[in-house]
Amino acid sequence: MNLLIFIGKRIFHAIFVILGLAIVIFAVARIMPGDPVRLAVGSRAPQWVVDNMREQMHLNDPIPVQFGYWLRDAAQGDFGISLVTRRNVAEDVREFFPATLELALFALTISLTGALLLGTIAARHKDKWIDNIIRIFSYLGIVTPSFVFAIIFILIFAFALDWLPAIGRLSNGVEPPPRVTGFYTIDSLLIGDLATFWDAIRHLILPALALAMASMAQEARITRSSMADNLTKDYIASARALGVSEGLIMRRFLLKPSLIPTVSIVGMDFAAGLGNAFLVELIFNWPGLSRYGMNAMLSKDLNAISAVILSFGIVFVLVNLLVDILVARLDPRISLSAGGGS
């Protein structure tokens, strides 16, 4: 019950965050120098075209009214057409976003699994050689930009060893599966096409790994320190004194409290990952939204920029909502205090 109240509150907050983000995007789009109409129709268009366009885009209305129109369209997924490519922005987002999301979620899975594994090993062998190696790896992982990893991985695993493909989402000649979610892995599984699924996974591994390194290192450090810290807690000694088996202590009584700090930072790491994805997508020629968004920014394509930022913003808010709920599930103290306060 307390948890439901907590979740309700968080969803309520999330709505305001997204609304706030929408206002910021709208404001930035209006403040940006340059006349959007001129940008759209070109400098040699006659004045009456400009005036008509201005009316059509509601640019003569007061700002709050303009925001109303903008929000209404955005809520329907209508961000207008790209000022550069003349394509429908919403369609572009729908096409490119799943590629980035698939990459980011795959990276998230890799980083979290790796981090828990490394963190646990390091904590259990604290201050031994294996712990030191993992710590050095962590520092390297944190300070090395993801594009460096990307290049190193391509050199080793794609060129030197030729184990994995280096570019794109699928090999040449492999047809993308019919679109349901836009995730090639899931869509190919849905039609039972294992060959395509395997091809998609192979293409995912290197970019996802490059993207995962930084957060894996960070999360491994946090898992290590929280586990090592909790190992010295009296409740572990008490459980041992009461005869609870070592396996159960590790799997349950140590793991659950130690997971809390790790899970808490996953949301932030995911956001950083979406940002870093731009370079990784560029290097691996990954047709994702980060690359699309960066191109839009370079060409001052306002409609496309708005759509990309809002899309990332919503995903970021959703991921953090999920993380908050997960942390509250892990740590009853959080949901209990939230329920008591209302």
Per CB under 8 A, does 332 bind another protein? yes
Phi, psi for 176 (deg, rounded to 5): -60, 145
- In whole angstroms, the minimum distance from the beta carbon of 12 to another protein comes to 25
- In whole angstroms, the minimum distance from the beta carbon of 238 to another protein comes to 4
285 vs 337 by CB, closer to another protein: 337
The stretch near another protein (CB under 8 A) out of 72-80, 142-150, 237-245, 296-304 is: 237-245
Buried b (16+ CB within 10 A) or exposed e, 202-212: ebbbbbbbbbb
171 vs 245 by CB, closer to another protein: 245
Distance of CA 271 to the CA centre of its chain: 5
- CA 286/CA 160 separation, integer angstroms: 21
- CA 41/CA 280 separation, integer angstroms: 34
The residue from 243, 298, 341, 342 that contacts another protein (CB under 8 A) is 243
Which residues make beta-bridge pairs with 88? 81
Q: Tell me if 139 sits within 8 A of 217, measured CB to CB.
A: yes
Per CB under 8 A, does 231 bind another protein? yes
Q: Which of 133, 125, 338, 95 is nearest to 228 (CA)?
A: 125
Per CB under 8 A, does 116 bind another protein? no
160 vs 241 by CB, closer to another protein: 241
The residue from 143, 235, 251, 318 that contacts another protein (CB under 8 A) is 235
- In whole angstroms, the minimum distance from the beta carbon of 112 to another protein comes to 19
Q: Tell me if 200 sits within 8 A of 188, measured CB to CB.
A: yes
Q: Which residues bind another protein (CB under 8 A)?
A: 126-127, 231-246, 248, 252-253, 256-257, 260, 330-333, 336
